[in-house]
Amino acid sequence: MVLTETVPAAAPPAHEGILRRQSLRESAARTYARSLPIVPVRARGLTIEGADGRRYLDCLSGAGTLALGHNHPVVLEAIRTVLDSGAPLHVLDLATPVKDAFTTELFATLPGELAEKGRIQFCGPAGTDAVEAAFKLVRTATGRDGLMAFSGAYHGMTAQALAASGGAQHTSVVRLPYPYDYRCPFQTGGERGAELAARWTQSLLDDPKSGVSRPAGMILEPVQGEGGVIPAPDGWLRRMREITAARRIPLIVDEVQTGVGRTGAFWAVDHSGIVPDVIVLSKAIGGSLPLAVIVYREELDAWQPGAHAGTFRGNQLAMAAGAATLAYVRTNGLDRRAAELGARMLDRLTSLAAAHDCIGDVRGRGLMLGIELVDRTADADATGARPADPQLAAAVQHACLDRGLIVELGGRQSAVVRLLPPLTITDEQADAILDRLADALTAAVRTTPGPTGSSPTTMRGTSP
């Protein structure tokens, strides 16, 4: 494949020096910086330009944050308007016209009762803080402590910070099976697998000797993102809604990653028509700047003033950028565009899977797409799934970067190559992304030995 966008004969020293100083100074816990050794200096839409002059198509999008891509004109304009207005940039949680406009725009998009009479809590700026707030809210409202969550879920990183805080509570989280079609623990997959998962949940709640008491809330992602791009069937989501409603268990839906059109509906819950008791929002709602909120049914609003405080809950620039993003997605129907384009990209990925038997599964919803890489030399289990191949996934990510494409890895064993492009990409850009991915996959397959190290992973048929 010929890359027209690459300039680098020799990377300028600034680029290398920055990366070297980063590896010397920054924490061992740094993440994306390890697999993506680039130094972004300019960005627009889908494209990032590195300090070495190379250009990349960015399908990581700030871990799913950039609904409109980098530096979209409406976002920049909204930020400039606030800056030029002389409005205070730091206001704690005071009322401002910017916040009022953001809240109005957000509520206009929300489902059912949340739009009509939901309450909003502005949280600390990260998704994880909004998740913490949601737990605190439902614990206070129900007087119960336990939580139900799902295998493979990702909700953030603050558990240790909470445990170390003065107000730490004992947390008991009951783990439930998420309907993961490709690796269905009930070895049936499909609707039946999802139904069995739902029945397991129900029996834990109804069996007085299950060892599980009624929790303060259940939290789920409508499409697991970090867990490996696993869309929950709409029917299963409706079952979770019924099960929780019938037992007066608040249902918390974490739309931190799936929100704002990403899955082909404005909110991922819109596909199934369910209305959660609490919705957790961050990432795209800040239009690329940090912002996190929960919106919940007013009956749950039983916590006390100051119950979930925080200095940075009033980011005016994020609210302005977020309101502009929400309005742009809504008025331009970018959720529908994500549905259409995502379906076409999924088709092409399915063709890619037909040509590469190291692709165990292709899945996604809207512009949240993933391919699960597996060891083609290993035996399949009873459902046809083979062991994950994280080594190959890492090689594909690396080969993508070589070809000017930034992709994310996810999944239980980091063997899922994830695509989270902006909702604004053109058909041609979508093709360019998939061309580069296909090329990278072919190259990685040739050079990567299987997980056993014994036999090289090879291709099925010819490359598309």
By CB under 6 A, residue 127 contacts ligand PMP: yes
**CB closer to ligand PMP out of 289 and 438:** 289
Nearer to ligand PMP, 155 or 386 (CB): 155
CA distance 310 to 261: 28
The DSSP string of 400-444 is HHHTTEE-EEESTTS-EEEE---TT--HHHHHHHHHHHHHHHHHH
How far apart are alpha carbons 378 and 389 in whole angstroms? 10
Residue 120 CA neighbour count, 13 Å, CB half: 22
- The answer to whether 154 is a known catalytic residue is yes
Looking up tokens 């205070």 gives: 88
DSSP symbols for 91-122:
-TT---HHHHHHHHHHHHHS-HHHHHHEEEEE
3-state secondary structure of 137: helix
| Binding flag, residue 225, ligand PMP (CB under 6 A) | yes
- For 223, phi then psi, to 5°, come to -130, 120
Query: Contact with ligand PMP (CB under 6 A): which of 110, 126, 176, 359?
Result: 126
Q: What is the identity of the amino acid at 219?
A: I
Compute CA 288 distance to the chain's CA centroid, rounded to the nearest angstrom. 14
Does 154 contact ligand PMP by CB under 6 A? Answer: yes
Q: Does 271 bind ligand PMP (CB under 6 A)?
A: no
Residue whose CB is less far from ligand PMP, 256 or 437: 256
| List 154, 180, 182, 296, catalytic entry | 154
User: Which residue number has the CB closest to ligand PMP?
Assistant: 127
Report the amino acid identity of residue 157. M
> Residues 49, 181, 226, 335: which binds ligand PMP (CB under 6 A)?
226
Choices 21-29, 97-105, 122-130, 423-431; region in contact with ligand PMP by CB under 6 A: 122-130
Nearer to ligand PMP by Cβ, of 282 and 414: the residue is: 282
The one among 61, 109, 128, 315 contacting ligand PMP by CB under 6 A: 128
256 part of the interface to ligand PMP, by CB under 6 A: yes
- Which tokens in the block code for residue 349? 């990925």
Decide: is 254 part of the binding site for ligand PMP (CB under 6 A).
Answer: yes
- Closest to 308 in 3D by CA, of 93, 162, 136: 136
Site for ligand PMP in 54-83 (CB under 6 A): 63
Angle ∠(218,258,340) on CA atoms, nearest 5: 135
Closer to ligand PMP by Cβ: residue 257 or 377: 257
Amino acid, single-letter form, for residue 6: T
> Interface with ligand PMP by CB under 6 A: which range of 11-19, 251-259, 362-370, 421-429?
251-259
Shortest distance in whole angstroms from residue 96 CB to ligand PMP: 23
Q: What are phi and psi of 134, to 5 degrees?
A: -60, -45
Burial class of residue 15 (count of CB atoms within 10 Å of its CB; 0-12, 13-18, 19+): buried
Residue 279, interface with ligand PMP (CB under 6 A)?
no
Q: Does 282 bind ligand PMP (CB under 6 A)?
A: yes
Token couple for 394: 């890492």
Between 46 and 131, CB nearer to ligand PMP: 131
Q: Indicate which single residue of 69, 152, 156, 342 sits in contact with ligand PMP (rule: CB under 6 A).
A: 156
Distance CA 416, CA 411 (A): 5
Contact 420, 408 (CB under 8 A): yes
Phi-psi label, residue 279: left if phi above 0, alpha if psi -120 to 50, beta otherwise: beta
Q: Give the residue with the Cβ less far from ligand PMP, 50 or 64.
A: 64
| Stretch binding ligand PMP (CB under 6 A), from 189-197, 218-226, 316-324, 341-349 | 218-226
Number of residues that bind ligand PMP (CB under 6 A): 15
The answer to whether 189 and 182 have CB atoms below 8 angstroms apart is yes
Tell me the per-residue interface mask from 390 to 429 with ligand PMP, x by CB under 6 A, - otherwise. Answer: ----------------------------------------
* Under rule CB under 6 A, residue 313 binds ligand PMP: no
Geometric angle at alpha carbon 254, from 315 and 387, rounded to 5°? 125
Q: Smallest distance, Å, CB 254 to ligand PMP?
A: 5
> Is residue 257 within the footprint of ligand PMP (CB under 6 A)?
yes
> For 85, how many CA atoms within 13 A lie in the half-sphere containing its CB?
15
Coil/strand/helix, residue 388: strand
Output 205 or 289, the one with its CB closest to ligand PMP: 289
Residue 68 CB, shortest distance to ligand PMP, in Å, is: 18
CB nearer to ligand PMP: give 70 or 418. 418
Instruction: Determine if 155 is a binding residue for ligand PMP (CB under 6 A).
Output: yes
Q: Given the rule CB under 6 A, which residues bind ligand PMP?
A: 63, 126-128, 131, 154-156, 221, 225-226, 254, 256-257, 282
Residues involved in catalysis: 154
